[in-house]
Structure 1
Amino acid sequence: MSSSNHATTVTSPTAQSSLTTWLDYMQQIHVSAIDMGLSRVLPVANYLGVVQSAKDDAFVFTVAGTNGKGSTTAVISDMCRAAGYKTALYQSPHLVDFNERVRIDGQMASDQTLIAAFEKVEQARLACGLTLSFFEITTLAALLIFAEADCDVWVLEVGLGGRLDVTNIIDADLAVITNIGIDHVDWLGDNVDAIGFEKAGILRDGIPLIFGATDMPASVQQKIDDHNVVCYQAGRDFSYRVPDIETNIITSAATWQYSNAAITLQLPRPKLSLVNTANALSAVLASPLDIGIDAIKTALQTVKLAGRFDYRQMVDRQWLFDVAHNEQGVTFLLNQLKPLWQQHLAVLNDGQMASIKLLFSMLADKDIEMVVEHLTQAKLPITDWYIAEIDHPRAASMEELQTALAAYVEDTAIHVYTDLQQATQAVIEDSGAQDLIVVCGSFHTIGEALTTLDVNE
């Protein structure tokens, strides 16, 4: 894990430069895209005063985990907002616009706000004589924006791991670990104990932890003991149930029941995972914040998050976008997709045929073959795969995608394109209004598809 101060010589943008210019600049000035560790970040953060600001003025939720961080942070944020708290939300990565990462009271930060923060971080970085990665600079800018806006609540999604992630320069007042699976093995380790150790690095002495899985690695339990943390664990301290899972998929009229040792609540069903929603609700209830049942219900009826089991009708087609890119993610997608497909078939006219068409691509550092295997073994009518390389430095090559597909998918069902824009146009042309187009494999796959669809709309 490098902490190199090597930098490429690039001219700094100015306050008059565009957001795109700033983002391009910040991607060029550090030797590596991912450079874990806090030794370079902390001096710059202290120079900016963001650490002290969070400690003095805000209640901080920090959310780590292999999957579900985005949904969990979205629900926590919306519940706090509905209760009247000025709420900051930091998430990554974005799908279409960088501004999605930084929100105050649900509103994305403007280009001007981001540029002003980037300029201050850049000045602090130069004053400290350090180089920072793109994620480090942009995260510091988000924290600075939250501090300057004097937000009551900060909801921070960990980017990678926890212990060495930039968000961990801020002490959490309440921590959430959604789950622990095998992902990012090059940085976090190749077993759940090693990964759990990294994610449990967000814990602080005496704070509450919401642990959103029934199996806890020994490394996490050890951190809980070391920090005298009060842990509320899924299945042991809180649970949820759905009256009828076959008919209550994603409709606004559906309800679900949440229970912990103190209360049982009948609640409106959100358009997000109930696993993640239950974790978020547990976090809110374990906090000292004054968030009543009305605020909770209001948030559940309105919360949404692009790209997480995200069902839409666009260009006269039916789409399902999901960022699933590892084993836990694709398993969760399929568990929700199967009943949704049955619901989809139920509304078709008698004799009308329908199929699932997959718009698919992944990053090269993911287990592509495992994801393909799960999707093909799911007993769903996936008739065609539309694949192209993502426009990203870590994109899987066409050869890697085709090799992963070859063992599980007939050649005639694989359609190859030079980019996601072409693949998206092709799946529109080859499908009918009765079909379901599923877009998955990466945040970047969905982002590029949505950009194409927005143009078509």
Structure 2
Amino acid sequence: MSDLVASNSSSPNDNVGLVSLTEWLNYMQQIHVSAIDMGLSRVLPVAEALGVVKSAKDDAYVFTVAGTNGKGSTTAVIAEMCKAAGYKTALYQSPHLSVFNERVRINGKMVSDETLIDAFSKVEAARLECDLTLSFFEMTTLAALLIFAEADCDVWVLEVGLGGRLDVVNIIDPDMAVITNIGIDHVDWLGDNVEDIGREKAGILRQGISLVYGAIEMPSSVQHAINNKQATCYQIGQDFSYRDIDSMIWQYSNAAVTLQLPRPALSLTNTANALSAVLASPLKVDISAIEQALQTVKLAGRFDYRESHHRHWLFDVAHNEQGVEFLLAQLLPFWHQHLSKHGSQSDRDLPKIKMLFSMLGDKDIDKVVQRLTQAGLPISDWFIAEIDYPRAASNEQLQGVLTQYVDSANIYQFDGLHAATYAVIADSQPQDLIVVCGSFHTIGEALAALAV
């Protein structure tokens, strides 16, 4: 592989030896000096050479979704509604949980390895012709956009990877922008306050387009961007709202309509934001398509309940304080339902919560653990292991934070998520609930272990 990355001025034919998707993914992780490299100056010439910018502008309606949390759920709901209405719908999300193909979907289906490999080879040829280096995320995002263009999709639903203004997704001009919320995350790249972060996320705005803003509080930097771009803003709590009715029904309202709808398996806040974006667009999406989408939409790792190995599991990718708040808002009522179904009159047989937990080292582990431990949930034990990823928090780092809030006798360390997953199975009872959270990588590795 080292021969392949010795120079980025070699012929595209030099990469003919890359046969499998795994080989391509490994190669693209090595051709740039850093995994994250913010800015559009390198990626734009390659995108223009591929024709993806023109294709999106001329042939598709584009939703671009930025925000600290909830982007995946929001993009999933938008895409499902558009698909149900008969539009050929492209969905780009990141990161993935199990296989890379999850990131690139057309009409809900992951594209094939062969489709990805063909796109990667074309992106690589354009990159070499432009004599530029691109990061892994830039290469893979360009490939996704090229696939959507070549498939002549009617609607593109794009999830921003990091920030907004300088993220590669922002080479495409959106017709509709969504900012789900703004919290403190990725401080090394976006800033350590909501004004700076808001300014970066509002970079997805274009002159005169509409924005759905999915939080009650709006930083002044976002309002300034709205004014500057003369954008039309629809904000939750002001221009639209929702009400939780029961386990089957919820109500959505804006100035024009009030709808009683089937309750989806995803966050109602994110669902309301997605529905607002669809309703504010010129797309023809009727109530039957909306209802159908809400009954079918799902997203792995977002309050994702499963039964496996005779155990109850709940997977959630919450990895910052705001994400944990989303998780707890759903987990607390869910836990009471679980308790009523699986509890008994004997204290010894009452269900407990077991945590399978790991995070990246550059996240605010303390804030996440503090919220989880102070939520009033009966968490009996914590099973921790280091994620197989360069930025993973070490067991010592995780243990150091946990012992500030949890008795060390209830913390168990393991060499890897596979071992930790099977340890929590062995140490739990069939009535218990195993909650897996802390990172996309935590969920992915645990799911991989269970699939063995």
For 2:17 and 2:114, how far apart are their aligned partners in 1?
A: 8
Following superposition, the deviation at residue 281 of structure 1 comes to 0.1
* 1:257 partner SS: strand
* 1:347 partner SS: helix
Sort the Cα spacing of 1:152 and 1:395 in 2 relative to 1 into closer, same or farther, 3 A. same
In the alignment, residue 63 of structure 1 is paired with which amino acid?
Answer: V
Residue pairs, 1:4-403, within 5 angstroms? 9=7, 13-14=15-16, 17-244=19-246, 248=247, 254-348=248-342, 349-351=344-346, 352-403=349-400
Task: Verify: 1:424 aligned to 2:418, yes or no.
Answer: no
Q: Deviations over 1:24-71 (max 9, x none)?
A: 000011000000000000000000000000000000000000000000
For 2:114 and 2:228, how far apart are their aligned partners in 1?
A: 43
In the alignment, residue 426 of structure 1 is paired with which amino acid?
Answer: A
For 1:368 and 1:238, how far apart are their aligned partners in 2?
A: 34
* 1:432 partner SS: coil
Following superposition, the deviation at residue 92 of structure 1 comes to 0.1
Aligned to 1:437: 434
Q: Deviations over 1:205-251 (max 9, x none)?
A: 1101000001000000000000000000000000000124xxx2xxx
Sort the Cα spacing of 1:279 and 1:15 in 2 relative to 1 into closer, same or farther, 3 A. farther
* 8 Å contact kept, 2:164–2:170: yes
> What value does the CA root-mean-square deviation take over the aligned residues?
1.1
For 1:429 and 1:341, how far apart are their aligned partners in 2?
A: 21
* 1:403 partner SS: helix
* 8 Å contact kept, 1:47–1:124: yes
Following superposition, the deviation at residue 8 of structure 1 comes to 5.5
In the alignment, residue 302 of structure 1 is paired with which amino acid?
Answer: T
In the alignment, residue 407 of structure 1 is paired with which amino acid?
Answer: Q
* 8 Å contact kept, 2:18–2:24: no
* Percentage of matched positions with identical amino acids: 72
Q: Deviations over 1:407-457 (max 9, x none)?
A: 1111110110000000001001111110000000000000000001111xx
Following superposition, the deviation at residue 379 of structure 1 comes to 1.1
* 8 Å contact kept, 2:178–2:214: yes
Following superposition, the deviation at residue 13 of structure 1 comes to 3.7
1:411 to 408, 412, 421: 408
Q: Which range is displaced more, 374-383 or 37-46?
A: 374-383
Aligned to 1:3: none
Sort the Cα spacing of 1:69 and 1:300 in 2 relative to 1 into closer, same or farther, 3 A. same
In the alignment, residue 423 of structure 2 is paired with which amino acid?
Answer: A
Structure 2: state its 5+ residue gaps. none
Structure 1: state its 5+ residue gaps. 1-6, 249-253
* 1:297 partner SS: helix
Sort the Cα spacing of 1:376 and 1:279 in 2 relative to 1 into closer, same or farther, 3 A. same
Aligned to 1:4: none
Q: Deviations over 1:292-350 (max 9, x none)?
A: 00000000000000000111111110000000010100111112111111100101233
For 1:89 and 1:100, how far apart are their aligned partners in 2?
A: 10
* 8 Å contact kept, 1:13–1:22: no
Q: Deviations over 1:251-304 (max 9, x none)?
A: xxx000000000000000000000000000000000000000000000000000
For 1:194 and 1:16, how far apart are their aligned partners in 2?
A: 41
For 1:165 and 1:243, how far apart are their aligned partners in 2?
A: 38
For 2:426 and 2:176, how far apart are their aligned partners in 1?
A: 48
The runs of at least 4 aligned residues of structure 1 exceeding 6 Å deviation read none
In the alignment, residue 319 of structure 1 is paired with which amino acid?
Answer: W
In the alignment, residue 342 of structure 1 is paired with which amino acid?
Answer: H
* 8 Å contact kept, 1:178–1:276: yes
1:451 to 443, 448, 451: 448
Q: Which range is displaced more, 401-410 or 147-156?
A: 401-410
* 1:56 partner SS: helix
* 1:240 partner SS: strand
* 1:80 partner SS: helix
In the alignment, residue 298 of structure 2 is paired with which amino acid?
Answer: K
Q: TM-score, normalised by structure 1?
A: 0.95
For 1:218 and 1:34, how far apart are their aligned partners in 2?
A: 27
* 2:16 partner SS: coil
* 1:333 partner SS: helix
Q: Deviations over 1:102-133 (max 9, x none)?
A: 00000101000000000000000000000000
For 1:204 and 1:243, how far apart are their aligned partners in 2?
A: 36
* 8 Å contact kept, 1:15–1:115: no
* 1:401 partner SS: helix
